[in-house]
Every structure is written in structure tokens, then in C-alpha cells.
Chain A
Amino acid sequence: MGPGAQADDGADVPRYAPDEIIDAVGQLSPAELARIEDISRYFAPRCAMQPEDLRQEAYARAFGTRSCKVGTGMVDFLAGIMKSIASDGYRSRKKARENGALEVVYVEAYGANGVPEPAFEAPSPEEAALSRRYHGDALAKALACIDGDEELQLLAEGVFDGLRGKELEDLLDKDTKGLAAVRKRLARRLDATFPNGVSV
């Protein structure tokens, strides 16, 4: 299973019992905890949460409602849950609007680094429209952070097209080591875009 993949596909594979998940998460090493912290900081701004709140939500789902295939690493499992929460973040925003509550919005450097000024977001009754806007906005923010860097933009295009390994090396005219370096640079750029979590 790749990183961030859903852990609950398929019905007939063996699953960990909730107590096994709780015990395994309780025994994570310091480096694994640091990875979870890093992942939560990456996803938290997208779903307008504080990183610690996102982690608590992920633990609550891991210890309660989510199932996990036997053999899946706990960091992979928790990363998948956080990715899923972030991907469905538009639902909680819609709910907040419907409840008449204040909507928590991540405010980045609007008007700088290619990030456009905030536009009025009229609430839409259609979930598909919300999803389109939500993911479109998030993608635009991610791409804004590599604006002007042709090498990273080319790698992103290759990843979007589903290219892998040698195909990506050919696209970027790099060897394996060179591709790894560019991948690392892209990942760090994306990760560093939101280094301090959400600003409320």
C-alpha cells in the first residue's frame, strides 16, 4: 500500500482489532511520531484545522471508526486518515456555513507569490460544486508555491500524467539520483508552504 492510501479497501482481508491499533500507535517510535507531526502540519491548513486537532481527529477515527488491514504500518494508516480528512474538508466548511457559524479559513499570503486575492465564496448547495472549488483552490495554492520554477513544474506535470521512474527521468533529463533530488525539492517546497499550521 502506498503512502496515504485508504486502509479500508476490500472486505475479506484480515483487519486489526481496535485494541491492536491502540497498542501499536502507543508504541510508535520518536521518529514515527515526528513524521505524524510533519504530516499533520502539511494537511491541517487545507481543512482549516490546527495540526494538533487534525491529529486528535485522526486518532479518534483510528481508535474508533476506521479499520486497518493487517500489515499496514501505523504511520501509513494515520497518514491516510489525515489525507482523507483534508480531502473532505469542504464538507465541514459547508456544515459550518449551514449552521450559521463563523467559517474558519486558512489565510495565506494573499496577493503574493502568485496567490490571488480571496474571492467571494458563495455557498453552493451542490456538493460536487463545493468539491470542485475546494480541490481547485487547494491545487492552485500548491502550484503557486512552484510558480517560476520550471523544473518543479515539469515534475508536477509528469506526476499528474501518471509518469513514474524512468519516464520521469527522461522527462526531466535526469538520472535516478537527479530525479530523487528534484522529487525531494518539490516535496520540501510543498511541505514548507504551510510550515506553521493554520492561521485563524
Chain B
Amino acid sequence: MSGGGAMDDREKLSRLDDLVLAEILSTPDDVILAGIAPGKIDALRQEITTARIKAGKGRMADAKASLVIDRARPVVVSLDQARGATALKAARAQDRTLDQKLTMAARSGGADYEADRPGIEEDLAELEAWDDEDRGER
């Protein structure tokens, strides 16, 4: 009666399982509760609480691990951008007017200035690179 290949047996078993599950799920509440020992429902609820706490701890551990990995990751700054930042700092130190303008821009529209800053630094880095090339050609 149980003949057939591997998939057959697995599928047959699955169909029997579904029949049993359908019966359990359709059994009236009072009948299914009649087979439960006193205090069992509280114990079953406690199991869920335990599982919920374990899941919470697991999530917390995952979050901590992600934080540690994130903190351990080195901050990578491209050489060009770093060089541009140095050039911008130098330019502000040399040109008081430029420094004041950038300071005012930062005060009145901080977000815009901060958004523009990498672009300014990149432009300055590019200028520095051209200067290097010019010096090399001479």
C-alpha cells in the first residue's frame, strides 16, 4: 500500500498530514479544550512569552553585531578629496573675504553649504592636480 517512489511517499504523507490538520483545525473549541489538562493553557502562553524574549534577544544581538562591524569599518576618504579639503582650508586661511563668505553661507543656509562643500573640495583638488601637471611639464 505504501509503494511508489520517494516523491510519492513524501506527497502521500503530506496528504495524510493535511487531513489530520484539517480535522484539528475544524474541531469545535469546546471539544478541543476538553482534551487539555488544567493549567496547560497558561503553560502554552508562557512558552510564547519565552520565544518572544528569545527573539528579542536575538534581534538585539544582531543589532549590536551590526554596530560593532559598522564601527570597525575604516572611514575611507579619497586622497583627492582630502587634498581638496586641505586646499580649501588653506584658501580660507589666506583669503579673509572668502572665509567670511563661506562662514555666512554656512550660517544662513547650512544644508546647501554642506551639500556644496564636497563639490568645492573636488574642484580645488582638480585644480591642484592641474598645477602638478603644469609643474611636471616645465
Chain A residues with a Cβ under 8 A of chain B = 2-4, 18, 22, 25-26, 28-31, 33-39, 42-43, 52, 55-56, 59-60, 63-64, 75-76, 79, 83, 86-87, 128, 131-132, 135-136, 138-140, 142-143, 153, 156-157, 159-160, 162, 183-184, 186-188, 190-191
Contact = CB atoms under 8 A, between A and B. Distances in A.
B103 interface: no
Contacts of A64: 55, 58
B75 to A, nearest CB: 32
Given A59-B48, A87-B14, A128-B6, A34 B36 contact: yes
A3 B1 contact: no
A35 B18 contact: no
B23 A188 contact: yes
A2 B10 contact: no
A54 to B, nearest CB: 11
A163 to B, nearest CB: 10
B19 interface: yes
Contacts of A76: 25
A184 B21 contact: no
Interface string B18-60: 1111111101010011011000110011011111101100100
Contact of B32 (A25, A31, A128): A31
**Residue of A34, A43, A75 contacting most chain B CB atoms (<10 Å):** A34
B113 to A, nearest CB: 39
A83 B6 contact: no
A104 B36 CA distance: 27
Contacts, number: 136
A39 B41 CA distance: 15
Chain B facing A: main interface SS? helix
Contacts of A18: 55
Contacts of A136: 2, 6, 9
8 closest A-B pairs (Cβ-Cβ)?
A59-B51, A187-B23, A132-B6, A31-B29, A63-B55, A3-B21, A135-B10, A33-B44
Contacts of A138: 9, 13
Contacts of A3: 18, 21-22, 24-25
B21 A159 contact: no
Contact of A35 (B13, B17, B19, B25): B25
Given A33-B44, A33-B45, A142-B16, 18 more contacts: A3-B18, A30-B41, A33-B41, A34-B40, A38-B32, A42-B20, A59-B52, A60-B51, A79-B25, A135-B10, A136-B9, A138-B9, A153-B1, A156-B16, A159-B19, A187-B19, A190-B16, A190-B19
Given A4-B21, A184-B23, A22 B52 contact: yes
Nearest to A184: B23
Contact of A143 (B1, B41, B49): B1
Contacts of A87: 10, 13-14
A158 B93 CA distance: 90
19 contacts: A34-B32, A52-B47, A60-B51, A63-B55, A79-B25, A83-B14, A83-B17, A86-B17, A87-B14, A131-B6, A131-B10, A135-B6, A159-B15, A160-B12, A162-B15, A188-B23, A190-B16, A191-B23, A191-B24
